[in-house]
Amino acid sequence: MDRTADLNSALSFVIGRIAEQATVSGEPLSDEQRLLLNYLPSTAIWNPEFTVPVPRNINLERVCALGKAAYLHDRQLNPSSLDWEFAFAVFTLNRHPMGGLLQLAGMKLRRPRWDGLLLIVTALLPIVAVVLLVWNADGPLFLFRSEGIGSGCVAIMLLMFLASRRIEKQRLKEYIERCRVASRFVATLPR
């Protein structure tokens, strides 16, 4: 798996589809809009919780609307195609700003069901630590035990965070490979 080749492939697909959608809409992309597509702003602008006021960018708004229209058109035309999912997984894996544009188009990462269980365990871990502290509060080694319990709790939470990040990367790589295999299979089918 070549991440650079995948990123270039995903970028050319999405930029090409947005350019096609602009042509179909009757108003091709301007030079500014093409430049914007090739050099998108950082991911901070895609975050809806980003509270610093930013002046409106009409070109960015049009590019986002065209991306959403192209995605919805392709989903309606061929719902089984994995081109957009491939591109979104590649952008997410590489933390590319184009992923924010695809999120605005309505794409979401599918998370496994057990992610909720990990979240619950992570939330309950500090409560377990407090219970253990209260339970061991009357011994002569209280300070030593409390430091050990607190350090253990922080270490377990950190390990769970790092493990979940690693699992997510691995899952994205596997999904990208499945999309690649599916597109090769579709390409070999007789028409």
Q: Convert the pLDDT of each residue in 73-126 to its tens digit.
A: 988 988 878 888 889 999 988 888 888 888 887 888 777 777 777 778 777 877
103 close to 141: Cβ distance less than 8 angstroms: no
Domain limits for position 127: 112-191
Please report, as a single letter, which amino acid is at residue 36: L
Q: Looking at the structure, tell me whether residues 85 and 130 fall in a common domain.
A: no
Distance (Å, rounded) from C-alpha 84 to C-alpha 87? Answer: 5
pLDDT of residue 1: 61
pLDDT greater than 60 at residue 55: yes
DSSP assignment letter at 30: P
Q: What is the pLDDT of residues 141-175, one digit of tens each?
A: 777 777 887 788 888 888 888 888 888 888 888 88
pLDDT of residue 69: 92
* Poorest-pLDDT segment among 28-32, 91-95, 173-177, 182-186: 182-186
Q: Looking at the structure, tell me whether residues 100 and 155 fall in a common domain.
A: no
End position of a domain, from candidates 77, 109, 141: 109
Contacts of residue 11, defined as CB under 8 A and 6 or more positions apart, other chains included, come to 87, 96, 98
End position of a domain, from candidates 75, 109, 143: 109
Contacts of residue 161, defined as CB under 8 A and 6 or more positions apart, other chains included, come to none
pLDDT of residue 188: 54
End position of a domain, from candidates 51, 77, 109: 109
Q: Looking at the structure, tell me whether residues 15 and 90 fall in a common domain.
A: yes
pLDDT greater than 70 at residue 49: no
109 close to 92: Cβ distance less than 8 angstroms: yes
**pLDDT band for position 134 (50/70/90)?**
confident
Q: Looking at the structure, tell me whether residues 38 and 88 fall in a common domain.
A: yes
pLDDT greater than 70 at residue 190: no
Q: How many domains does the chain have?
A: 2
Q: Looking at the structure, tell me whether residues 99 and 144 fall in a common domain.
A: no
Tokens of 142: 């209280």
Q: Looking at the structure, tell me whether residues 81 and 70 fall in a common domain.
A: yes
pLDDT greater than 60 at residue 47: no
pLDDT greater than 70 at residue 52: no
Dihedral through CA 6, CA 9, CA 10, CA 12, nearest 10? 160
Q: Looking at the structure, tell me whether residues 93 and 174 fall in a common domain.
A: no
Q: What is the pLDDT of residues 65-79, one digit of tens each?
A: 899 999 999 889 888
